[in-house]
Amino acid sequence: MPSFLLLEAICIVLFAGVPPSLPLQEVHVSKEIIGKISVASKMMWCSAAVDVLFLMDGSHSVGKGSFERSKHFAITVCDALDINPRKVRVGAVQFSSVPRLEFPLDAFSTQQGVKGKIKRMVFKWEELHSLASEPREQHVLMAEEVDDATNGLFSTLSGSSICTTASPDCKVHPHPCERKTLETIRELAGLAPCWRGSRGTDAVLAALCPFSSWKRVFFTHPTTCYRTTCPGPCDSQPCQNGGTCVPEGPDRYHCLCPPAFGGEANCALNLSLECRVDVLFLLASSADATLEGFQRAKAFVKRFVRAALTRDSQARVGVALYGAKLTVAVPVGEYQDVPDLIWSLDGLPFDGGATLTGRALRQVAERGFGSAPRTGLDQPRRAVVLMTEARSQDEVAGPAGFARARQLLLLGVGSEDVRAELEMITGGPERVLTYTSPQDLFDQIPKLQGKLCSRPRPGCQAQSLDLVFMLDASVSVGPENFAQMQSFVRSCVLRFDVNPDVTQIGLVVYGSRVQTAFGLDTHLSRAAVLRALSQAPYLGGVGSAGTALLHIYDKVMTVQGGARPGVPKAVVVVTGGSGVEDAAVPAQKLRDNGVSVLVVGVGPVLREALWRLAGPRDALIHAAAYADLSHHQDALIEWICREAKRPVNLCKPSPCMNEGICVLRNGSYRCECQGGWEGPHCENRRREGSAANRAAQGHGSSWLPPSQPH
């Protein structure tokens, strides 16, 4: 910063524009910094003993509009001057052909008087002449905005202690600037014929002479601008959870919040539990869970209850600890208010000892929620949120099944190391939340709220769909588990509008052989499909999922099998995991032909083989046991409905029979028939002498629109 303005008097010369150049300047900073520059210009105060003289250009080269802008700038500067006879005195001179004193330094002793006189100054509109005693240049400031110019002036004066800012945290910073000047230049335009000679002689010569044109161009000059900025209200990042801070003046702001956090001024968690639910947090307090992990879990619960237990919330919370034994530290709902609950959480001790998760789950199911639950419509949902970073040292599958059988919703929150065990306990990956850092743990709070209050949603009732269920009926499943598969599929069918115009459903079972229990167009109502599902045969034997998928490709997802052109298609495979090693290639063949494939694996299945079968998309659901299939119904329906909305290719799978070739064109298709076949889908053997034979010699048929459900 230049520090040479150690003067008893300041002359501010205001040129709104001086020909032949038009100076323009741009400060290369962000919109946020521009806002801070504007705010800081209003926070400066000049109270030293100094005389300020405004020299204002009033010549015709400036124009009345620019002169008025100069007056506005001078008035803005006066807002920051401590004008009184012992501090700052202000005068003004308007100069053009001759200088004219508008008012002397001792004319006014208040801001109002000086500003009023400047407002009444009249533009003289005369030719500009240089001042006879023009002062030596000390500082040249160029700016297009009044706030920017005011800030630049006061930033310069702050170096000589004439002006200060309202806050000691305000600092002068250099910023890159680009100054532009609009100048007139001479440019060679070309050559033209001309004649040269001298008077009195006959010697006149013809030649090509250069001629020029004049044009106005901008020249850029990189420079540095010094501006004062003050800490803004958004510098402390007051908006939480990804909110955007928008400043409103020097000390106020508002936050633009993501939808889940819009209820609070600073985008704090807005996660009031609007559903009726009793939640018991089960925290691991064992040696393997570590004291740090236990403290993280407590911090998570405290933050959750602050956000979720609002005045209108219908939820109740309890907390239990476990290691070698279970301790219900805060019974569900037994606290006065949220501060009382937080106080109880702060006092929870870390026990150490063994990690007996299975034992804790069984005891929670028996006595974690107090007396027997209320029945009927008055019964709230009951949920257990297990928080652990340590694997269990006892068996968990049996106790977890016991807890789910008592209608407890089990949710797991833990590190990646215990994901597989948590999935086994809760019944599936959609009920597990994992984290990699403390902040990542806190980010799971909105997801936990959603899982606690989520309810079954209706299926895609009005969406056209051809849906085939493929059930593993091999000996590895057994008749009892096959019956549970049937029950699961029946509950899924209830979510669809089954009729020839909307959803068609087929069923294929495989074991010792592959059998189509019923095709897509066999049953025309939901009731008929439900009856047929109950009659599906258990086959036994060794099954091959790959063979069953090829059977669906060749016999079921075809026009002759009842499939409709232009309608989304999906296959849901429910398997115990055996016999899937050969299924990856047939499954991909179906996908390549426009058929989506979802795999539901049950029990200790071969995960790698199932992932290959499920393909690259998120198309695998894992249930810990056949009894847990119902817990995954929502996820399955959501996947099916999402696939039903995907765009379709009218030629995949091909509607053409007998090796006919499907050709797309302008939103329709046609079948080019081969080898003596004819008809819209090449379904008829051509007769000798037919019209089609005479016209096309065995190729083609009319263009068909997308087939409507029939």
Residue pLDDT, tens place only, 629-683: 888 888 888 888 888 888 888 888 888 888 888 888 777 888 899 888 888 888 8
Structural domain includes residue 233 = no
Burial of residue 652 (number of CB atoms within 10 Å: 0-12, 13-18, 19+): middle
- The answer on pLDDT for 686 being more than 90 is no
* CATH code of the domain covering residue 674: 2.10.25.10
Q: Is the residue at 254 inside a domain? A: no
Residue 166 lies in a domain: yes
| Residue 245 within any structural domain of the chain | no
Q: What is the pLDDT of residue 8?
A: 55
What's the CATH code of the domain at 66? 3.40.50
Same-domain status, 627 and 669: no
Bridge-based pairing of strands 569-575 and 465-472 is parallel
Q: How far is CA 282 from CA 366, 429, 444, in A?
A: 14, 19, 16
* Residue 626: closest CA among 566, 568, 700, 576: 576
In 3D space, the residue among 283, 415, 437 whose CA is nearest the CA of residue 348 turns out to be 283
Surface-to-core class of residue 43, CB atoms within 10 Å of its CB (0-12 exposed, 13-18 middle, 19+ buried): middle
> For residue 9, what pLDDT band results from cuts at 50, 70 and 90?
low
Is residue 136's pLDDT more than 50? no
Token pair recorded at residue 258: 């993501």
CA distance 455 to 381: 10
Residue 360, pLDDT above cutoff 70:
yes
Residues 588 and 672 in one domain: no
Distance CA 238, CA 232 (A): 11
Q: Of 115, 147, 181, which closes a domain? A: 181
Q: What is the pLDDT of residue 297?
A: 92
Name the pLDDT band for 607 (thresholds 50, 70, 90): low
Instruction: Say if residue 488 is in the same domain as residue 373.
Output: no
Q: Are residues 317 and 347 in the same domain?
A: yes
**Residue where the block lists tokens 């999935």:** 423
At 3 the pLDDT is 40
Distance, CA of 398 to CA of 4 (rounded, Å): 85
What is the structure's pLDDT at 318?
92
Q: What pLDDT, on the 0 to 100 scale, is given for residue 195?
A: 77
Alpha-carbon distance of 535 to 541, in angstroms, equals 19
- Band (pLDDT 50/70/90 cuts) for residue 48 is confident
Q: How far apart are CA 436 and CA 453, in angstroms?
A: 25
Where is pLDDT greater, at 202 or 127?
Answer: 202
User: What Å distances lie between residue 125 and 60, 63, 72, 92, 115, CA to CA?
Assistant: 5, 7, 18, 17, 22
How many other β-carbons are positioned within 10 Å of the β-carbon of residue 668?
Answer: 15
From CA 429, how far away is CA 399, in angstroms rounded?
18
Q: What is the Cα–Cα distance from 526 to 504, expressed in whole angstroms?
A: 9
Distance separating alpha carbons of residues 578 and 580, to the nearest angstrom: 6
Do residues 678 and 611 share a domain? Answer: no
Whole-number mean pLDDT of the chain? 81
Q: Are residues 325 and 371 in the same domain?
A: yes
Among candidate residues 617, 644, 671, the one where a domain is terminated: 644
- SS3 for 335? coil
Mean pLDDT over 282-295 rounds to 91
Cα 233 to Cα 261, 375, 418: the distances in Å are 20, 53, 43
What Å distances lie between residue 657 and 112, 173, 561, 653, 685, CA to CA? 94, 77, 11, 11, 11
- Does position 237 have pLDDT exceeding 70, yes or no? yes
**Residues 572, 598 within the same domain:** yes
Distance CA 706, CA 253 (A): 55
Query: CB within 8 A of 408, min separation 6: which ones?
Result: 364, 365, 382, 383, 384
Domain membership flag for residue 228? no
pLDDT value, residue 210: 86
Give the three-class secondary structure for 361. helix
| Residue 703 pLDDT class (50, 70, 90 cuts) | low
Question: Which region among 154-158, 416-420, 586-590 has the lowest average model confidence (pLDDT)?
Answer: 154-158
Task: Decide if 243 contacts 237 (C-beta within 8 A).
Answer: no
The owner of tokens 């997801």 is 447
Q: Residue 52's closest CA among 148, 127, 118?
A: 118
Average pLDDT over residues 478-490: 91
pLDDT of residue 128: 46
Cβ-based neighbour number of residue 205 at 10 Å: 8
362 and 505 inside one domain: no
Based on the fold, state whether residues 555 and 619 are members of the same structural domain.
Answer: yes
Sign of CA dihedral 30, 33, 35, 37: negative
Share of the chain above pLDDT 90, in %: 22
Instruction: State whether 709 and 666 are in the same domain.
Output: yes
Q: Is the pLDDT of residue 77 over 50?
A: yes
Three-class secondary structure of residue 9 per DSSP: strand
Q: Which two tokens stand for residue 36?
A: 């801070």
Give the closest residue to 606 by CA, choosing from 579, 629, 588, 573: 579
- Does 120 fall in a domain? yes
- Among candidate residues 164, 181, 198, the one where a domain is terminated: 181
- Structural domain includes residue 301: yes
Total of domains in the chain: 4
**For residue range 499-541, what is the model confidence (pLDDT) as tens digits?**
888 899 999 999 999 999 999 999 988 888 999 998 999 999 9
CB 516 within 8 A of CB 471: no
Q: Which amino acid is at 583?
A: A
Shared domain for 605 and 702, answered yes or no, is: no
626 vs 602: CA distance, rounded Å: 6
**Burial bucket for residue 87 (CB in 10 Å: 0-12, 13-18, 19+):** middle
Same domain? For 623 and 707 the reply is no
Q: What mean pLDDT is predicted for residues 127-141?
A: 46
* Rg of the chain in Å (alpha carbons): 41
Using the predicted structure, report yes or no on whether residue 549 has a pLDDT greater than 60. yes
What would the pLDDT profile of 100-117 be if each residue is shown by its tens digit? Answer: 899 999 999 999 999 999
- CA dihedral of residues 161, 166, 169, 171 (deg, nearest 10): -50
User: Which of 407 and 483 is assigned the larger pLDDT?
Assistant: 483
pLDDT score of 378 more than 70: no
The predicted pLDDT at position 206 comes to 77
Average pLDDT over residues 143-170: 75
The model's pLDDT over 172-189, given as tens digits with 9 standing for 90+, comes to 888 888 877 778 888 888
Phi, psi of 450 (to 5 degrees): -65, -40
Note the helical H segments in 26-175: 31-41, 64-78, 111-119, 146-158
Band (pLDDT 50/70/90 cuts) for residue 7 is very low
Helix (H, G, I), strand (E, B) or coil at 580: coil
Token couple for 549: 């998928």
What confidence tens digit (pLDDT) does each residue in 423-434 have? 889 887 888 999
Nearest-CA neighbor of 224 among 41, 28, 23, 18? 28
In order of 113, 377, 384, 631, the CA distances from 274 in angstroms are 62, 16, 18, 22
Give the CATH number for residue 342.
3.40.50.410
User: In 603-641, where do the E strands start and end?
Assistant: 620-623
Identify which of 142, 176, 158 has the alpha carbon closest to the alpha carbon of residue 41: 158
| pLDDT bucket at 125, cuts 50 / 70 / 90 | low
Range of the domain at 679: 654-710
What does pTM read for this prediction? 0.45
How remote is the C-alpha of 99 from its chain's centroid? 63
In a domain, 269, yes or no: no
